[in-house]
Amino acid sequence: MEPEDVVEVVVTGPDAGWLAGYTRTLVEERLAACGQQLAAIRSVYRWEGRVHDDPEARVALHTRRSLVPAVVARTAELHPYDVPCVLALPVSGGNADYLRWVVDQTREP
């Protein structure tokens, strides 16, 4: 297991309640080892020709790089947005015991 085997997947959602349920589903399905949620963020973005300024919530999921396609697919099934934010960020290092735990808590792709 190398640090490159672990990624942080950032997902935003309409509110903290929805995002907590989504995160729990991914952890129960072993697509993520854990999710660390920020209950209140503010998103400014352009959508359908207009600039929006909306409250949202954000979660950082810790998972295997090889599970990113499954996380993206599951998010597309569960998410209420037409185009949900799902970004996989590389992990370049960290606590080796924690990284091993992430791999141990997630399923094989």
Q: Enumerate the domain spans of the chain.
A: 3-105
Q: Are 19 and 86 in contact (CB under 8 A)?
A: no
What is this structure's pTM?
A: 0.94
- Which CATH topology does 3-105 take? Alpha-Beta Plaits (3.30.70)
Neighbours of 56 (CB within 10 A): 20
Candidates 8, 29, 23, 25; CA nearest to 87 is: 8
Split at pLDDT 50, 70, 90, the class of 109 is confident
Number of helical H runs and strand E runs in the chain: 3, 4
Q: What is the mean pLDDT of the chain?
A: 96
Query: Residue 89: which H helix or E strand, with range?
Result: strand 86-90
What are the tens digits of pLDDT across the range 36-83? 999 999 999 999 999 999 999 999 999 999 999 999 999 999 999 999
